[in-house]
C-alpha cells in the first residue's frame, strides 16, 4: 500500500507494508506501530513545531529506503526519527535518508531528556545532524540510548555542541557501538567543547558510553 503524504493531514499511522511517498504538509507526522516494516520513497517530512518527531517508532520497526528522503524536526525537543526506548529501529535499502534536528535532539535517536532505543543501519546512505547538545545518531541531552550498529554503506553524522557524532549527547549515555568491516564510509564530525571534549564516536561531554568496536577495515573519518 502506497500513501502519498501530500494528501494526508495530521498524524498518519504507517502500518506494516506501507510505502510512504510525497512531500508532507506542515502538520503531518508519522507514527509506526510495533513490528512494522515501512518503506520511504522520495519522502519529505518537516515538522515545524516542538511537539512531535517527524517519524516516531512505537516499538521495533524497519525503514526501507528508496530514492532520496529527508525528515526534519525543525524546533524543540524531538529528533527527526525517534526509536522507542528498549526497542530497535533498523534502517536499510538502496536509497538515502537525511535526518536533522533543529532543537535539543538527535537526528536519529533521542530527544531533550527523552531516552531512545537501539539503532541498526544495514545499508543506504544516511546523513544525520544532531541539534544542540545532541548526537547526530544516538542520544539527546541527559538521557540514554541503546546500542548503535552500523553494518554497511555510507554514514555521515554531525553532533551538536558537546555531543558525539555517533553515540552520546551531552551528559547522556549510549550502549555499545559496533561498526562493521562492510562499511564503505563513515564521516563523523563534532563541535569542540574545550575543557570537556566529546568523542567523535562514543560518549558525549560529561556522559558515558558502552564498548566502541570499530573494525580495522572500516573506512572511518573523524573530524571537527
What would the mean pLDDT of 105-118 be, rounded to a whole number? Answer: 94
C-alpha cell at 66: 528508496
Give 166's Cβ-side CA count (13 Å radius): 29
For residue 194, the model assigns a pLDDT of: 58
For the chain, what are the domain ranges?
A: 2-223
Separation CA 224–CA 204 (nearest Å): 14
Q: In this predicted model, what pLDDT tens digit does every residue of 27-58 receive, in sequence order?
A: 899 999 999 999 999 999 998 767 789 999 99
Whether the Cβ atoms of residue 162 and residue 133 lie closer than 8 Å to each other: yes
Q: In this predicted model, what pLDDT tens digit does every residue of 55-94 receive, in sequence order?
A: 999 999 999 999 999 999 977 789 999 999 999 999 999 9
Q: In this predicted model, what pLDDT tens digit does every residue of 153-211 receive, in sequence order?
A: 899 999 888 899 999 999 999 999 999 988 878 887 776 555 567 888 999 988 999 99
The residue length of the chain stands at: 224
CB atoms within 10 A of CB 207: 28
Separation CA 49–CA 102 (nearest Å): 10
Reported confidence tier of residue 25, pLDDT bands at 50, 70, 90: very high
Amino acid at each position: 500500500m502506497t500513501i502519498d503524504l501530500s494528501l494526508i493531514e495530521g498524524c498518519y499511522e504507517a502500518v506494516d507494508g506501507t510505502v510512504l511517498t510525497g512531500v508532507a504538509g506542515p502538520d503531518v507526522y508519522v507514527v509506526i506501530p510495533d513490528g512494522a516494516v515501512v518503506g520511504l520513497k522520495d519522502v519529505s517530512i518537516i515538522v515545524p513545531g516542538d511537539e512531535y518527531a517527524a517519524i516516531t517508532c512505537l516499538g521495533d520497526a524497519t525503514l526501507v529506503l528508496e530514492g532520496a528522503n529527508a525528515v526534519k524536526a525543525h524546533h524543540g525537543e524531538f529528533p527527526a526519527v525517534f526509536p522507542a526506548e528498549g526497542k530497535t529501529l533498523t534502517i536499510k535499502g538502496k536509497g538515502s535518508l537525511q535526518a536533522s534536528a533543529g532543537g535539543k535532539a538527535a537526528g536519529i535517536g533521542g530527544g531533550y531528556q527523552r531516552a531512545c532505543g537501539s539503532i541498526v543501519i544495514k545499508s543506504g546512505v544516511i546523513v544525520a545532524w544532531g541539534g544542540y547538545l545532541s548526537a547526530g545518531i544516538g542520544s539527546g541531552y541527559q538521557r540514554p540510548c541503546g546500542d548503535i550498529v552500523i553494518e554497511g554503506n555510507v554514514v555521515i553524522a554531525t553532533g551538536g555542541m558537546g555531543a558525539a557524532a555517533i553515540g552520546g549527547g551531552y551528559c547522556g549515555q549510549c550502549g555499545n557501538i559496533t561498526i562493521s568491516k562492510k562499511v564503505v564510509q563513515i564521516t563523523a564530525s563534532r563541535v569542540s567543547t574545550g575543557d570537556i571534549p566529546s568523542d567523535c564516536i562514543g560518549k558525549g561531554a560529561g556522559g558515558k558510553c558502552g564498548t566502541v568496536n570499530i573494525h580495522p577495515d572500516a573506512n572511518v573519518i573523524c573530524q571537527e
